[in-house]
Amino acid sequence: MSSLNEKIIALVHNIPRGRVATYQQIAALAGKIQAPRLVVAVLKKNESLPWQRVIAKTGKIAFKPGTHNFKVQVRLLKREGVIVAKDGSINLGKYQWRRKPRRLRGQPHMFRDKL
């Protein structure tokens, strides 16, 4: 079991309802910036994931419009309150999930205002 797969699985699980993330975003957070396809593979293999919350970086659903999967994904997302256009595009600025920024730790006190 590569911990990489597990990281990806964990990350996808962390995407809150009503929010979305991109394949690349997940890959990056997992440490493989240039392997969005890896995320695809993981989603495909693990049925129990909120796969609908992962979309392309263009802000669109990755499946081709009209396909079964496309429809299912649209339905699931709408069910969680996400507005999805006919062509499957979603407003990333509004719905993209961002992991909480790690607060500075260590000696921020003395260097905080030195930037």
Partner DNA sequence: GGTATGACGGACA
Partner DNA sequence: ATGTCCGCCATAC
Q: What residues contact 59, with CB distance under 8 A and at least 6 apart?
A: 89, 90, 91, 92
List of E strands, 17-86: 21-22, 54-55
Q: Give yes or no for residue 48 binding DNA (CB under 7 A).
A: no
Q: Give yes or no for residue 71 binding DNA (CB under 7 A).
A: no
- Cβ-based burial of 20 (10 A; exposed 0-12, middle 13-18, buried ≥19): buried
Residue whose CB is less far from DNA, 48 or 107: 48
Q: Give yes or no for residue 54 binding DNA (CB under 7 A).
A: yes
| Window of 35-43, 79-87, 88-96, 99-107 that interacts with DNA by CB under 7 A | 35-43
| Window of 40-48, 75-83, 86-94, 99-107 that interacts with DNA by CB under 7 A | 40-48
